[in-house]
Amino acid sequence: DAKTTQPPSMDCAEGRAANLPCNHSTISGNEYVYWYRQIHSQGPQYIIHGLKNNETNEMASLIITEDRKSSTLILPHATLRDTAVYYCIVRVNNAGNMLTFGGGTRLMVKP
Amino acid sequence: KAGVTQTPRYLIKTRGQQVTLSCSPISGHRSVSWYQQTPGQGLQFLFEYFSETQRNKGNFPGRFSGRQFSNSRSEMNVSTLELGDSALYLCASSPGLATGTQYFGPGTRLTVL
């Protein structure tokens, strides 16, 4: 699976959009981009995933660049409860469900 | 639908002992994966079971083992505990194989003294 690079930490003002970047310059054509988050002392939570097209659900939007070498997770109106570590994971959906977690981005939403 | 449940939530053991952790997946989910989370190493994959068969295994010593029952419930066992085994052990379930969408439980916090 391709490796990902994320900033170790970011701040965001409550009510503003949080844009979390992820670099995956070695991604292969059949690899998906997944985002999970982990709120302190809880299990990780699935947010969203995509292959080529931009995706949106009730939690967030995922923007993948045309060359697929990077992506951005967007939380449109961040709240204090969105404070968490966000993980960007790239994987092939061909065998098994194993996830390889990196260091993630610690997002701090401030009032 | 009830989420993934893990028991016990907290556990204290001493070096050399063994421990068994339990995980009940979301109803209908047949895949169960286990992860270890420590401050130093982060989240690391231990193993995955599907239909009572181990499908994938991470880079952990043989002291770490697991199994899955016919009702998809899973247990993991750590024998001859070491101080470094102190960690949050997370279980995750998925409806099938070959999907990156997993649903995690709250974890079992193991402390080895």
Look at residues B103, B80, B78 and name the one whose alpha carbon lies nearest to residue B90: B103
The span from the CA of B53 to the CA of B67, in Å, is 8
**Which residues between 9 and 68 in chain A have a beta carbon less than 8 angstroms from any beta carbon of chain B?**
32, 34, 38, 41-46, 49
DSSP letters, A60-102, are -EEEE-TTSSEEEEEETT--GGG-EEEEEEEEETTS-------
Question: In Å, how far from its chain's centre is CA A58?
Answer: 15
CB atoms within 10 A of CB A109: 20
Q: Are A1 and A31 in contact (CB under 8 A)?
A: yes
**Chain B residue nearest residue A37, CA to CA:** B104
- Residue numbers in A near B103 (CB within 8 A): 46
**Chain A residue nearest residue B47, CA to CA:** A98
Which pLDDT score, from 0 to 100, does residue A2 have? 64
Q: How does pLDDT run along chain A (111 residues), one tens digit per residue?
A: 668 999 999 999 999 999 999 999 999 988 999 999 999 989 999 999 999 989 999 999 999 999 999 999 999 999 999 999 999 999 988 778 889 999 999 999 999
Q: Which residue has the higher pLDDT, B99 or B112?
A: B112
**Chain B residue nearest residue A38, CA to CA:** B104
Q: State how far residue A72 is from chain B, nearest Cα, in angstroms.
A: 18
pLDDT in tens, B62-97: 999 999 999 999 999 999 999 999 999 999 999 888
The span from the CA of B29 to the CA of B104, in Å, is 12
Bond prior to B8 in cis (omega within 30° of 0):
yes
Q: State how far residue B18 is from chain A, nearest Cα, in angstroms.
A: 24
Q: In Å, what is the CA distance from B68 to each residue of B26, B34, B36?
A: 14, 11, 18
Chain A and chain B share a number of CB contacts under 8 A equal to 70
